[in-house]
Amino acid sequence: MSAMPGVLVAINVSLGGVPKLPVPSAEITPAGVAGDRQKDRTWHGGPDRVVSVLAMAVIREFQAAGHPLTPGSTGENLTIDGFAAEDLVPGVRLRIGADPATAVELELIIWLTPCSKIGSSFLGRKFGVFKHDHNPCRSRIGARVLRAGTVHAGDPVERL
């Protein structure tokens, strides 16, 4: 577990589809990230996966293996640096923001299953390597919002 706080590297949104593109700040509510929408609500969204999170460490690992991942290319809303992949697992709570009284709080809930729409982020479009069952802790994770608020790229992230 990381003893130092991490940092919110990117806030990524789209009106449906990938890549999600960076924005400097966004409001996060129990309904999701402002400015973000999923085309297929059967498999995306919902209270336990309203915000998707990915560790920058995972992006770096895949990049080192030649995969062209970048923040937002796999559809995550929040890209977080300063934590090992194993630090961001179901049950972990995160506080995002400089002021604990107004910071957003999330609870990581469920590993998100990748789909073919993120294929361009992987060599040979083999997105299955991004599935938690095949590569533990190397995937996006869905989170529920415990406390709403506004986050900004560069905000500190604390594991509670």
**Number of domains into which the chain is organized:** 1
Range of the domain at 11: 6-159
Assigned domain for 20 exists: yes
Statement: the pTM of the whole predicted model exceeds 0.85: yes
Assigned domain for 54 exists: yes
Assigned domain for 1 exists: no
pLDDT (tens digit, 9 = 90+) per residue, 28-65? Answer: 999 999 999 866 555 555 666 689 999 999 999 999 99
Assigned domain for 39 exists: yes
Assigned domain for 32 exists: yes
pLDDT (tens digit, 9 = 90+) per residue, 92-140? Answer: 999 999 999 999 999 999 999 998 999 999 999 999 999 999 889 999 9
Burial of 114 (0-12, 13-18, 19+ CB in 10 A): buried
Q: Which CATH number does the domain housing residue 127 bear?
A: 2.40.33.20
Q: Which of 28, 33, 72, 36 is nearest to 54 (CA)?
A: 72
d(CA 12, CA 21): 5
